[in-house]
Amino acid sequence: MKNELFQPTLPSIQNKTLDKEFIKDVIKPRKGTTTLAFIFKEGIIVCVDSRATSGPYIASQTVNKVIEVNKHLLGTMAGGAADCFYWEKLMGNYAKEHELKYNKRISVCAASKFLSDNLFYYKGYGLSVGSMICGYDLTGPAIYYVNDDGLRVKGDLFSVGSGSTIAYGVLTTHYKFDMSFEEACDLGKRAIYHAAHRDAYSGGSVNLYFMNYDGWTKIGSYDVQALYEEFNKL
């Protein structure tokens, strides 16, 4: 028997673009991480820390919390690492199947809908997922927040994780759509740095990605201690 990917029909709220205040209220803080993504005039910035914790214990300082789904899609990890990795890789398989079947890249909307549908189906099973699905398609740049309840929200700026409230303070103060590439990269690094500096469950390195229509590029990985010395010289 052929295995079919489950795609239930979700309530209409899943597809709505909601205002930023609602987004802040509805996104549950996820333990032990800080991730962010935002759209600006030249593309999308995705920035994350690299610390993994198990209760009070720091399990790793070198986790890459950006899942490289394909050349045009990135996902972030907040919550349970295994849950995020498994379901976003499954989404990647679906995206590849779509590309082979229709000879075109999947839209960010469709990819995130597939993820939210499957998470909604397993709601109440103890999954822990708070991810941002970021990418470019024929309609332009898009970012969707998806969590383990199956909630799916589209927006221009998100931060998810235990340090997200600190990151939001930096982002909402300095974010402008018409920023230059250098300003956008600096804002992403600063927001994650300040979150890592104040949140005990965030830290390690800052991993920075840039996306445009041609795909994503990893700009670099920056040690939080080095950023502390850099920013405090200014």
DSSP 152-188: EEEESEEEEETTHHHHHHHHHHH--TT--HHHHHHHH
Is 217 assigned a catalytic role?
no
Bridge partners (DSSP) listed for residue 67:
75
Task: Quote the tokens at residue 157.
Answer: 């700026």
Is residue 91 helix, strand or coil?
Answer: helix
89-97's contacts with Cβ under 8 Å and 24+ in sequence apart are 90/115, 90/118, 91/115, 91/133, 92/67, 94/5, 95/69, 95/70, 96/70
208, 220 Cβ separation under 8 angstroms:
yes
133, 155 Cβ separation under 8 angstroms:
no
46, 159 Cβ separation under 8 angstroms:
no
Residue in 9, 17, 33, 139 annotated catalytic: 33
Just list the catalytic residues. Answer: 33
